[in-house]
Amino acid sequence: MINITQNKTAIPMLDIKAQHEPLKEEIKQALKDILDSGQFILGPNVRSFEQETAAYFRVDNAAALASGTDALYLCLRALDIKEGDEVITTPFTFIATAEAIAYVNATPVFTDIDRYSLNMDVSKIEEKITPKTRAIVVVHLFGRPADMDEIMELARKHNLKVIEDCAQSFGALYKDRRAGSIGDAGCFSFYPSKNLGAYGDGGMMITGNRDVCEKVKLLRNHGTVAPYRHSFIGYNSRLDEIQAAILRIKLKHIEEYNRKRRDLARIYTSVLGDVVQCPAETSDRTHVYHQYTIRVPAREKVSAALKDNNVSSVVYYPTPLHLQEAFHYLGYRKGDLPESEAAADEVLSIPVYPELEPEKAEFIAGIILKTVRD
């Protein structure tokens, strides 16, 4: 048992209400304007949010959608990935990444991760490429951009599409470009807990390819080319005006939110860097710390000590996708992707959100330091 003064107030994994507080008057006014206008679907806020997001990423096209999962799915549809195709991705991610591949009846092909970055190990991708491989879905896990130069080089060599799953990396920089603007398309989620979070579900696809964006915009709206004229079977996957208005307000603060996350990460890494594996940082990219995830063999002991001190922590992700029941049909077995499996046994994410006070991060780091050393 460690002997640190009990923390009086609980420290959660994130505090959505604290983020809302300074924005609430502006958001109330935006909501009032929408309620008064009576326009809730595909109106001016969605159009402006698409333009503002495209400008932020320095791309020409953006399509606002109902969720990040839909962004991945509709993007794969628009890129004509289909039955019989193989799509290479990481097993160490949220299930939506691979679900989207399954939705288009393509086969997810899982490739192992790098033990330090927790992103796809680019030295292991090429051996997974077959004549059926059509695309790579790369995830910038926890907010750290993956090795995009190597991935784009492989894609050029083998004529593959690259889709960036940026659900956790809004705003992260890879060299001088933002993650999401490097591959054929970038897919974002505005689930409330993400770095840019809506007050409900939401998503976005960005792309340099105008045709792909037009196709996604038709897919999201029942394939409607003119009122009640449908050129193909689509879906209902639109972002609504209320979410778009809230996201436009929050987008103005994303740099500050991400900077605060990075400041907290610096505190954690400075205290813990010598005793546990902290998130990898390199000078050629910025990590935006959707999660601050350490690797610690004594994970249970550390999470129990945090809990004793009223501090939340979560294991993202306890089971890699290749071992999930949902993907049993793919035929993977334990031991197939050892780095992903080892990571699943050792990772622990600790609180990192813009409103967390630096003193709290020092307190949390202190508990972990003491627990690991004891």
Count CA atoms closer than 13 A to 265's CA, side-chain side.
Answer: 25
**365/309 Cα distance (integer angstroms):** 12
Beta carbon nearer to ligand PLP, 62 or 96: 96
Instruction: Closer to ligand PLP by CB, 90 or 303: give it.
Output: 90
What tokens were used for 36? 């008064």
Please list the residues that pair with 293 across neighbouring strands: 349
Interior angle at CA 372, CA 366 and CA 374, nearest 5? 95
215 versus 290: smaller Cβ distance to ligand PLP = 290
CB of residue 270 to ligand PLP, shortest distance in Å: 27
Q: Is the backbone peptide bond immediately before 317 cis, with ω within 30 degrees of 0?
A: yes
Find the binder of ligand PLP among 68, 183, 186, 351 (CB under 6 A): 68
Question: Per CB under 6 A, does 311 bind ligand PLP?
Answer: no
Stretch that binds ligand PLP, among 91-99, 149-157, 264-272, 342-350 (CB under 6 A): 91-99
- Is residue 279 within 8 Å of 287, Cβ to Cβ? yes
Please report the DSSP string for 278-290 in residue order: PPP--TTB----S
Q: Check binding of 165 to ligand PLP (CB under 6 A).
A: yes
Binding letters toward ligand PLP, positions 173-192, x by CB under 6 A: ----------------x-x-
Helix, strand and coil content of the chain, in percent to the nearest 5, comes to 45, 15, 40
Contacts of 142 (CB under 8 A, 6+ apart): 118, 168, 279, 287, 289, 290, 291, 292, 293, 316, 349
Cα dihedral 138/140/145/148 (nearest 10): 0
CB of 347 to ligand PLP, least distance (A): 14
Q: Radius of gyration of the chain from Cα atoms?
A: 21
* By the rule CB under 6 A, 237 interacts with ligand PLP: no
Work out whether 139 is an interface residue with ligand PLP (CB under 6 A). Answer: yes
β-strand partners of 88: 109, 136
Stretch that binds ligand PLP, among 67-75, 111-119, 154-162, 355-363 (CB under 6 A): 67-75
- Which residue in the set 45, 53, 90, 93 belongs to the binding site for ligand PLP (CB under 6 A)? 93
Span from 163-171, 340-348, 349-357, 364-372 in contact with ligand PLP (CB under 6 A): 163-171
Q: Out of 49, 57, 92, 94, point to the residue binding ligand PLP (CB under 6 A).
A: 94
Q: Exactly one of 45, 90, 133, 168 binds ligand PLP (CB under 6 A); which one? A: 168
| C-alpha triplet 191, 284, 63: angle, nearest 5° | 35
CB-nearer residue toward ligand PLP: 138 or 305: 138
Q: What x-and-dash track marks residues 202-221 binding ligand PLP by CB under 6 A?
A: -x------------------
Pair 245, 47: CB distance under 8 Å: no
Q: What region does 233 belong to: left with phi over 0, alpha with psi -120 to 50, or beta?
A: beta
Mark 69-88 with x for binding to ligand PLP (rule: CB under 6 A) and - for no binding: x-------------------
Confirm or reject binding of residue 96 to ligand PLP (CB under 6 A).
yes
CB 322 to ligand PLP: min, Å: 16
Residues that bind ligand PLP (CB under 6 A): 67-69, 93-94, 96-97, 139, 165, 167-168, 189, 191, 201, 203
